[in-house]
Structure 1
């Protein structure tokens, strides 16, 4: 996972589980939602993404952000926020590792 220094804007169609990230230069890239989860310890919601263009046998870089869910608890509109705290990153990585171990999928 890599840290991002800036907030990312996104629009989501959660039925397809895809989000388009727009960087500071206005470049758009489509990402697939791996999963979302909530942390009571940090009182935040998190979303983990990987490039939608990645092939099944390709190793990909997974992006993780915190977000503010809408009234339905979805990441449907708004901003993604960088994870800047090392302890918070460690917690997100532990959740990801548990997910990958349970899923049996290599990303």
Structure 2
């Protein structure tokens, strides 16, 4: 992994700010969507079990001034595809070590 990680801010249901690091992003042609996998800022995925959170990433529209939005993955088949992509990514990272 890079020494420099992207940090994003998400808000929970109470409006409280939480910081997350981006593990990786990818596009899936079957669903024609972009995805992002994040984990709590400061956690080290190389040092044990870390909760990872997948989201559908909606890129910002050029003129709306936002940085994009995230949606939860609600379809079981889509979630399984994202989980498989995450496992493949983690396996590739393990192979590099």
Aligned equivalents of 2:91 and 2:60: distance in 1? 29
Runs of 4 or more off by more than 6 Å in structure 1? none
- Conserved? CA contact 2:60–2:69, under 8 Å: no
Inter-partner Cα distance in structure 2 for 1:33 and 1:22: 15
TM-score normalised per structure 2 = 0.80
Q: 1:23 aligns with which of 9, 12, 15?
A: 12
Question: C-alpha separation between the residues in 1 aligned to 2:20 and 2:36?
Answer: 11
Per-residue deviation at 1:53?
Answer: 2.4
Task: State the superposition RMSD in angstroms.
Answer: 2.2
Structure 2 regions of 5+ residues with no counterpart? none
1:83 alignment counterpart: 73
In structure 1, list runs of 5 or more residues that go unmatched.
1-14
The TM-score normalised by the length of structure 1 is 0.73
Query: Across the two proteins, how many residue pairs are aligned to each other?
Result: 88
Answer 1 or 2: higher relative contact order, Cα 8 Å, separation at least 6. Answer: 1
Larger radius of gyration: 2
CA distance in structure 1 between the partners assigned to 2:72 and 2:15 by the alignment: 18
